[in-house]
Amino acid sequence: MLIRISQLFALLLAHKRRLLWLLLLGVVLPWGIFLKASSEIEEGEGFYGDLQLLRWAHAHTTPALDSFFLFCSAIGGPVPMTVAAVLFTGVLVWRRQPRYAWFFGLAVGGAAALNLLAKAILGRPRPAFWVSLAPETSFSFPSGHAMGSAAVVLALGLLLARGRWRVWLPGALFVLAVGFSRVYLGVHYPSDVLSG
């Protein structure tokens, strides 16, 4: 046990710069944004520019963009992301990689639990400035689509990509498209998506 701990400590020191960046970008920054937005929402506010960005997106709607963002919203929704998470966790179990399966399941499941808890506690109403093409009835903050797709892509990326930007880039573009689709469709404020 002592040897393993010392080996782990040596590994951490050898990769400390990379680990510090991962910690900052993967944990500290997202939690900071989430906590800041949560406090603003609790005070009955949002981020500066929320309404302006929402109205800008609505002013630039077209039938082609409607179809594209409806598709992005659908594939980044709770059912497809849950199916993907269950299937990938099952593959990890089948391949006898229980630690990876636990990591993936807890990362995605934890994001879902945090999302439901934040919605229940803060109860932010959805934007209601026009009739949406994809109406929703649950609370707005944080965006479940944004949080779920980001959790799946990030957990998959950490397990599979390991620094390969050709793998990370499509995942990042997918998450951005899903997130922006929620603003474009008028069912979330930008701060909901950013916090998700």
Q: Does residue 126 lie within any of the structural domains?
A: yes
Record the tokens describing residue 25, joined without a space: 């970008």
Query: What mean pLDDT value characterizes the chain?
Result: 78
Inform me whether the pLDDT recorded for 156 exceeds 60. yes
pLDDT bracket for residue 54 (50, 70, 90): confident
The answer on pLDDT for 46 being more than 80 is: no
**Domain extent for 174:** 27-38+46-195
What phi, psi does 138 have (nearest 5°)? -80, 180
Q: What is the pLDDT of residue 10?
A: 60
- With H, G, I as helix, E, B as strand and everything else as coil, classify residue 95: coil
Q: Which residue has the higher pLDDT, 6 or 121?
A: 121
The answer to whether position 13 is within a domain reads no
Hey, what are 195's tokens?
């916090």
Per-residue pLDDT at 167: 73
Quote the tokens at residue 23. 């910690």
Given the residues 15, 58, 60, 188, the one annotated as active site: 188
120 in any annotated domain = yes
Q: What is the mean pLDDT of residues 21-39?
A: 62
Please indicate, yes or no, if residue 2 is contained in any of the structural domains: no
Task: Kindly compute the dihedral angle of the four CA atoms of residues 27, 32, 35, 37, in this order, to the nearest 10 degrees.
Answer: -120
CA dist., res. 65 & res. 70, Å (int)? 8
The yes-or-no answer on residue 188 being catalytic is yes
Q: Per-residue pLDDT tens for 63-90?
A: 999 899 999 999 998 899 999 889 988 8
pLDDT at 19 over 60: no
In a domain, 172, yes or no: yes
Is there a domain that residue 10 lies in? no
Q: Catalytic site residue 58?
A: no
**CA–CA dist 185, 85 (Å, integer):** 25
Residue whose C-alpha is closest to residue 30's, from 104, 107, 103? 107
Domain count, the chain: 1
Write the pLDDT tens digit of every residue in 130-149: 777 777 778 877 888 898 99
Residue 81 CB neighbours (<10 A): 24
Quick one: tokens of 26?
């993967």
CA–CA gap between residue 167 and residue 1 (Å, rounded): 35
Is residue 179 situated within a structural domain?
A: yes
- The whole-angstrom separation of Cα 42 and Cα 40 is 5
Residue 153 falls within a domain, yes or no?
A: yes
